[in-house]
Amino acid sequence: MSSKDFKAYVFSLLRSNLYTSVVTECSGEQSRRGNEAFLQYWKAYGLGMSGRSSEAIRELEAMQRKRDMEYPAALMLLFLHRRSRMVDMHEVDAIQSSLSQAEASLSDNGTLLSATFHYLTGNLYEAGRLCKQLVSPNGYAQNPVQVQAHTLSAWIEVASGDAGEEAVSLLEDASMARDLDCLMAKATCYSLQGRKKLALDQLNEAIALQSWFTPALVEKSKMFMSSREWEQANEMAQRVLNTSNSNTSYSSPAYEAILLIAMCDIVYMGKSVEENMESLFGAMEEQEGENASVFYETGRLFSRLCGRKRNILRYTVKMMKKACEVEPVNSKYYSELAFQYRLEGNYGTALDTYRDAAKYDESNVDAIYGSIYCQVMQGSLEDAEQQLEFLSVVQDGTKPSSSEMLFLQALLTNRKEKDQDRHLDLLRDVLDAHERERSEAKATEVFDEYIQYNPDFMVEVAKEFLQHLHSPTSVMTGSSTDDVPASVQTGLDILDSVTGMVPALLDAHLVVAKANFEMKKLDKTQETLNHCISINPAHSDTYLALAQLHLARDNFQSANNCLEQAMSYDFQIRNSPIYQLVKSECLANQGNLSDALNQLEDAMKLPGVRDGLTGTVSLGDRVSIFVQLGGIYARLNMLSEANEVLNEGKAAFEGTAEQIRILVAISDLAIKKNDFTSAINMLSSVPPESSLYVHSVVARADIYLKHRHDKQAFAQCYLELVQTRKTAATYILLGEAYMRIQAPESAIDAFESALRYNPKDSRLAEKIGKALVSTHDYMKAQEYYENALRNMPNNISLRYDMAKLFTKLQNYSGAAKTLKKALSDLDTMDGEGKDAMEGVGVGDLKTLIQDVETLLLLVTVYEGSGDVDMVKETLMRARGIQKTVMEMARGQGEGKSKQTKVASEICYALAQCAEQEKDDGSALEYYQEALDASVHEPSMLSLSKLHLRKHNLTECEEMTQTLLRVASKKEEATMIMGDLMFLKSDYEKATQQYRNLLAKNPNNYVAMEKLVSLLRRAGKLSEIPELFEQASSADPRSSSHSGLFYAKGLYHKYTNNIMDAIKNFNLIRRDGEWGSKALENMIEIYINPDGANMWEEGEGGVDGNNESVRVAEKLLRELELLGPKTRKHETLENFHLLATRQKANIDRAMASFLSMLEADKDHLPALLGVSTAFMFEKASNKSRNYLKRIAKMPYNQEYAEEFEKSYLMLAEIYVGRGKFDLAQELCKKCLGFNMSCAGAWDLMGVIMEKECSYKDAAECYEKSWAFEHEASASVGFKLAFNYLKAKRYVEAIDISNKVLSMYPDYPKIRQEILQKAMESLRP
């Protein structure tokens, strides 16, 4: 390692405050190079800064004897003496007096060392003054000292907050191009200028010059952190660690590598944080064990990022204790230690430690702020207020108040004065002050940026904002679930910023989830909690929140399961008030009220529930415990206890935003006694000037509506509110009240009144538009939207509503035109596709997300108009923009999760388009892309179906198994697994899948329909009636269920019981869910009642003029009324035309089938239709060609009936031509898919009969007869005939009598079989 490179490395260690490492490196280099001044000087500095001042002073006193080192040595001696616990003023004065004389004899090297020392100790003015003596006047560095001076000047510019072009110009000399310290300085300058690519180029060049130079790798990792590219930052950190471990040329500290890894983990991944903290603390003790500043800075950083997790704070507290141990009188270190005790909730110890900090430095403002905070948290509000007032007086007032002081004022205002408006004003001032402080601090590296941002403090501020969730202002400005009060939105925006900075901070995500939960946004809550689980699947608080969510959805079993999971990860969670609250609700739901009561009484005894002093239990949860306890007492008829606890709550929460919940609970108690008047009177007693007045009016109105069903009194409550407070907010409440009681005209008047008070409120325009639409006055609604958009052209929501109205009116061009105006066209400004998106900045992210939403709405418009090409084109454009959105949202945690789902939805829609176009390859790619983006259940389901249709059974099974693991609803996946097992000929497993579904819900008629078809194909028709009995037993009202009638109709159809099939289908033919399918089955039956070959004339064929064909025509007209015409409908119409047996109709049907084949050449029903039409025309050769084409197609269960008919038609043609082997093969193929296929068994019997194998023929006819439910005259005749030929006369007589009993007008069997069989029996 060259001297120049070693110096660059030492300077990097010095800038990172790694003083012990500096001592180690300089000592090692001294053993190789001797006692050089540079090595001796910086070794002394390292010794002094790591607590070994006496050793450093000895080194420096020896150096002071050298003339050119006298001044830099004196500077450091003066600095170290002043840092000593006991300052030797005599020595300080002596050194001070010698400085002027020593400076006169400075050499260039001495000047450079002195300037560097001043820079490191923060004296930038002196550092700059000395550097100017060395910097070349012409700007060119002509020797190594000037190179270092230029570089140091640039570092000074950076430290002073000026990393502009002047700093870079100092480093442009060609002689500096291969200097490592120069490259590091240039990288830092470019980074601070926001020129990331240039900065990375400098670091890459440094790494290329010296691969061992870990400072460049460290800075590169930090740079990726600054741009929130956490995967790359972590990868670079791992590289630092590998380089540190493998390097033998010098003792590279692993501390920085582990620090970077731990930082990536705690901020982004959240996986192995505790293990990393243990490794980090070990590395610090080993490498910087006497360096208090390293322990201080590291502990300070991680304590603000850990979300107050005790397992992490344990390590940060150890770090701060170590710092205090090394420097026992450093007030700053004690103040930070107290802060971390504070984070643990240990306010008593924190207060004592803050007093110690103040003892060592009475001017330590942080210690005073911290003491006041602890007093507030302990409930000593008077003491806290006095201290804060004293501090305000002491401060001169020339400087603006700090964010910490303003926050303390906000806390006192909320807790002592309960002044909510003042509280909000102070919180807004806190945000302004915090932003000002960050701007003034000008962080030069990512760790400082995180410390100055202080995520923990920001979460605390956000929680204070969110306390106003149920304030009167919130009710008035956010009365619908879509509206978010301004104060709450501010809190959510802060948390969004926090999770953008620290994606793995579960505490922030859980606060967001809690807020959404309180606002009844349960889907958003679920999404946030799922994201929390993806970060840390073993986080007990997340499962606790999930339990609350399941409770809100009345899913008590899932709530209980979540509680069990929470306790499995943290047994102490059972002592949490939230756990007790949720557990009590689960127990109460099970009817175990006494245990529920015990849980809540235990919860009331926990710290912070009654008094709220600890701050660990939110105001909302405290109120919930009081309300729930009162409710349990009431259910147990312990009404006096209920009154007592609720009255205690009324006193405890007086003046808070949550007090109204207690009042409502008291009124509910009165309602339980049927004392509605008392409930109303109590709520009416709240005076109009009270902050709870709006809440009380809303609660009173709900009693009128829900319990007295008095709509007039309900509306009157809101009218009184408007008369008392004529504001936009109260008129909005009135309008929404009118909408609840279906009075849209009055609602419109109220919203218009609100608009007069607040003309800029875009939400009001949306509400008025929706109200107009609900009156069905579409023309007026359209006119209103047009006028509103002229006044508010940038209101996207309004534009969306107008487009939806156009779509509803089937004015698709108007809808498309409206939506296109909402597009920013950022993706097409400079070109097409990816190149056009390269210039898009981070500030455009929201615009791009909005563009994607607009394009997806535009897709629905094009789908409605049937413009398939535009659907695909729009989706492709949305896909391109979404890729850019995904790149820009990288590292944003929950925000990224949401965008990945949007990307999946787009790819899923494209895959569906591809499937419609029969482009299975593209569909497969799009489905896979959707799954690469996120776990997307619809894509998994469709991909399983696609694999099943293409007979990719292995891939289908793998995907279906995955779907069964992740799906929230497993019905469809189970059905696919059943179909898959059937195709594998595993009939038992196939039917078991459906039986499992029906075991859970015997009235699941979708599964029953599938199982009926499956049992038929498995040859187990006899097992079907049992399903109907189970459904009837499970639900006595099932006798009126359309799904059951449909399943019975199918069963009777399959068993050739045509009359009962028609009867069941007819009962539900007008049903919204099952009607279309029932009609289709009825039409199929009436077109061909006997199931014989349609084209055959006479006995088996269809008479074109008979009544059944006319009934089919009538039912087809009825089918038209149920919805848009489908291909199935068109197919049935064509077969009806064939059934008329009229030449013109047959030609029409043929033309229609051929037209369908032009659109889709492999459309199976159309191919079968053409084949059938050719049979009517006696063109069996042409028919055979189409049927052979069908026989080669892969089997698809969607067209199971059509495949079956096609196989049998072709087999029959082969039988007619004597090709028995081919016919038999087709029959077996048919039976492979449907073992109950009577036609296949019948045709097999015909083949055996023609081969004179009457015994085998009889066996085949027996099966056909059984599967025809012994109701087919033709099959009965053939069976009896073969019995006769096989000399089984008794069986022949039995079958003949059965046929004659059903068909008395069937004389053929009497003459040709019955009489002959009887004669053969006579002796």
**DSSP state letter for 395:** S
- Using the 8-state DSSP alphabet, how is residue 266 labeled? I
Alpha carbon distances (Å) from 1230 to 538, 1190, 1198, 1210, 1219: 53, 13, 15, 11, 17
In terms of phi and psi (left: phi > 0; alpha: psi -120 to 50; beta: otherwise), the region of 951 is left
What predicted TM-score, i.e. pTM, was given to this entire model? 0.62
DSSP 1099: S
Could you count the other beta carbons within 10 Å of the beta carbon of residue 742? Answer: 9
The number of helices, as runs of H, and strands, as runs of E, in the chain is 73, 0
Say what the pLDDT of residue 890 is.
Answer: 64
Nearest CA-CA partner of 1130 in 1116, 1112, 1114, 1144: 1116
Alpha carbon distance, N-terminus to C-terminus of the chain: 122
b/e 262-293 (16+ beta carbons within 10 angstroms → b) = bbbbbbbbbeebbebbbbbbebbeebbebbbb
Predicted local distance difference test score (pLDDT) of residue 892:
52
Which residues of the chain carry a pLDDT beneath 50? Answer: 248-252, 473-481, 830-843, 893, 1099-1102
Residue 836, pLDDT score: 47
* Residues 1103, 205: Cα–Cα separation, whole Å: 90
Whole-angstrom distance, CA of residue 518 vs CA of residue 661: 13
d(C-alpha 616, C-alpha 374), whole Å = 13
Integer angstrom CA distances of residue 314 from 308, 341, 505, 607: 10, 10, 17, 22
Q: What is the mean pLDDT of the chain?
A: 85
Q: How far apart are CA 981 and CA 1018, in angstroms?
A: 11
Q: How far apart are CA 492 and CA 470, in angstroms?
A: 15
Half-sphere exposure of 384 (CA within 13 A, CB side): 24
| Alpha carbons 1177 and 40: distance in angstroms, whole number | 110
The phi and psi torsions of 341 (rounded to 5 degrees) equal: -60, -40
Q: For position 1149, what pLDDT does the model report?
A: 92
CA separation, residue 751 to residues 482, 732, 745, 771 (Å) = 16, 6, 10, 9
Q: Give me the residue label for tokens 């190179």.
A: 147
**pLDDT tens track for 119-149:** 888 888 888 888 888 877 766 666 788 888 8
CB-based burial label for 757 (10 Å; 0-12, 13-18, 19+): middle
1073: how many CB neighbours lie within 10 A of its CB?
13
Q: Tokens for 264, please give them.
A: 């990536």
The answer for residues whose C-beta is within 8 angstroms of residue 745's C-beta and 6 or more apart is 775
Helix boundaries (H) for 967-1020: 971-983, 987-1000, 1005-1017
Backbone angles phi, psi at 560, to 5 degrees: -65, -40
Instruction: Provide the 10 A C-beta neighbour count for residue 606.
Output: 16
**DSSP H or E run through 226:** helix 214-226
What is the token pair recorded at 369?
Answer: 């702020």
Instruction: Give the closest residue to 914 by CA, choosing from 873, 860, 872, 955.
Output: 872
